[in-house]
């Protein structure tokens, strides 16, 4: 029950500027313009879903390949910790819990990001969004799933986990409440207090 799943972008990892920089670098090589500010305002879904807003279907594989070619060199050095991320993971470890990261980011870049930030986790699963994350969470035995997107609430529900939403992405605390989150935190600096009380009740 102490095991916890976490989303990555804007939950554990501050990737806004990093992702923006990758899009800016790839834009001159694309035939279709992309509004980077719009992209960054709705981070969460897998890359191919975002690219589908900006170009025909047949152009997406090449654009995605270019993005992934540029990502390690440009984005990883610019990626930082979200406030409270390290402390949140440490709290789960202290309680004897295991940690899974389930993200819409492709698994290779997700693993690179986790490694670059020095996170010690048990499993990383990528390229999943919304309720599609549920099977990975259930198989891992996650008792809670923490994310910044309303789709992460759907993920927790699908995986039979407590939904812990952090208002550090594109959704406000009120929007996360309205979507049905079990717990809403302003950011991960509030996670340890919640987690300690949650594990005490479930013990």
Would you state the structure tokens that stand for residue 4, as one six-digit string?
A: 């916890």
Task: Decide: 128 and 136 in contact? Cβ < 8 Å.
Answer: yes
Helix (H, G, I), strand (E, B) or coil at 57: helix
Task: Specify burial of residue 77 (Cβ count, 10 A radius: 0-12, 13-18, 19+).
Answer: exposed
pLDDT at 16: 97
pLDDT at 201: 79
pLDDT at 200: 85
Task: Decide: 187 and 84 in contact? Cβ < 8 Å.
Answer: yes
Give the whole-angstrom CA distance, residue 22 versus residue 69.
10
> What are the residues whose beta carbons fall under 8 Å from the beta carbon of 40, sequence distance 6 or more?
16, 19, 20
Q: Is 130 left (phi over 0), alpha (psi -120 to 50) or beta?
A: left
Q: Is 172 left (phi over 0), alpha (psi -120 to 50) or beta?
A: beta
pTM of the model: 0.96
pLDDT at 203: 59
* Residues of the chain scoring pLDDT < 50: none
């Amino acid at each position: 029950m102490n095991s916890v799943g976490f989303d990555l972008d804007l939950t554990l990892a501050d990737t806004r500027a990093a992702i923006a920089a990758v899009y800016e670098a790839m834009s001159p090589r694309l035939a279709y313009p992309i509004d980077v500010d719009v992209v960054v305002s709705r981070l969460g879904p897998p890359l191919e879903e975002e690219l589908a807003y900006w170009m025909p279907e047949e152009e997406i594989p090449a654009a995605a390949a270019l993005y992934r070619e540029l990502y390690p060199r440009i984005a990883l050095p610019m990626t930082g910790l979200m406030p409270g991320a390290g402390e949140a993971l440490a709290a789960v470890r202290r309680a004897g819990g295991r940690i899974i990261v389930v993200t819409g980011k492709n698994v290779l870049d997700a693993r690179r990001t986790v490694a670059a930030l020095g996170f010690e986790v048990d499993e990383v699963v990528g390229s999943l969004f919304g309720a599609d994350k549920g099977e990975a969470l259930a198989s891992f035995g996650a008792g809670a799933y923490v994310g910044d997107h309303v789709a992460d609430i759907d993920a927790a529900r699908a995986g039979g986990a407590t939904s812990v939403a952090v208002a550090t992405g594109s959704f406000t605390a009120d929007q996360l409440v309205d979507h049905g989150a079990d717990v809403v935190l302003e950011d991960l600096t509030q996670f340890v207090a919640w987690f300690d009380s949650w594990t005490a009740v479930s013990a």
